[in-house]
């Protein structure tokens, strides 16, 4: 069990700090390591570390309108900075946070390695951004690439993805919780309503095999 959160605003704000606040409220879902990614322009910047998210004072001083974050309870791979989320594609163009277990990740990893993809962690999660990247290189359609990648995944999962070429966030779920918070000009995707209840009580719960596009 891990905690994931995504935030998107219509206006430039301090999305990194909002993500950290949300992760602290979901710390019961994972306390081994933490991480977040913010997007400024077309650049995705990732910050992560081992330890408790409650010890982190702030997310980022950079003004940005979208970010994703994760607090980890380790299942695949040791508790290391390298295994902490978010995980990115080889060119850092695509970034993902994930809750759940990808049961067929060994087979997916082998297939991707045969296509010259290089893995940097011991996690099952890393197959997700690399698989999305594989489809994205062919289609140049981010949301369609996520749909195709999700069809290859077996297990129970929810994940949130961002792309340097896409203005917004995409979430998808199967067997793990994922819900949407609708604020005034701002939106949340997360594992638990406690992450954003102080901002809005307008909530949509996703069903299995549903995808949400925000932005």
pLDDT digits (tens, 9 = 90+) for 166-197: 999 999 999 999 999 999 999 999 999 999 99
Q: What are the tokens at 171? A: 């979430």
- Mean of pLDDT values over 9-36: 84
Instruction: Using the Cα atoms of residue 118, residue 176, residue 53 and residue 64 in order, give the sign of their dihedral.
Output: positive
User: What is the structure's pLDDT at 146?
Assistant: 97
pTM of the entire structure? Answer: 0.93
Q: What count of residues does the chain have?
A: 215
Q: Could you tell me the pLDDT band of residue 142, with boundaries at 50, 70 and 90?
A: very high
CA distance 99 to 156: 8
List, as own/partner pairs, every contact residues 46-52 make where C-beta atoms lie below 8 angstroms and the sequence separation is at least 24, other chains included: 46/86, 46/88, 46/92, 46/95, 47/16, 48/81, 48/84, 48/85, 48/86, 49/81, 49/84, 50/79, 50/80, 50/81, 50/84, 52/27
């Amino acid at each position: 069990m891990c905690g994931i959160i995504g935030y998107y605003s219509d206006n430039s704000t301090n999305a990194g700090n909002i993500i950290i606040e949300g992760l602290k409220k979901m710390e019961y879902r994972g306390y081994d390591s933490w991480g977040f990614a913010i997007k400024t322009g077309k650049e995705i910047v990732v910050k992560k570390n081992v330890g408790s998210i409650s010890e982190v004072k702030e997310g980022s001083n950079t003004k940005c309108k979208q970010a994703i974050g994760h607090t980890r309870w380790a299942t695949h791979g040791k508790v290391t900075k390298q295994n902490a989320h978010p995980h990115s594609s080889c060119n850092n163009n695509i970034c993902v946070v994930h809750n759940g277990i990808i049961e067929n990740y060994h087979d997916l990893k082998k297939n991707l390695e045969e296509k010259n993809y290089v893995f940097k962690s011991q996690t099952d999660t890393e197959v997700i951004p690399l698989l999305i990247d594989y489809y994205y290189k062919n289609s140049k359609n981010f949301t369609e690439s996520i749909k195709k990648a999700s069809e290859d995944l077996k297990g129970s999962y929810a994940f949130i993805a961002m792309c340097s070429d896409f203005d917004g966030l995409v979430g998808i779920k199967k067997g793990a919780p994922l819900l949407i918070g609708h604020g005034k000009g701002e939106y949340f995707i997360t594992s638990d309503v406690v992450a954003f209840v102080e901002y809005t009580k307008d909530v949509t719960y996703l069903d299995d095999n549903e995808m949400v596009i925000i932005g």
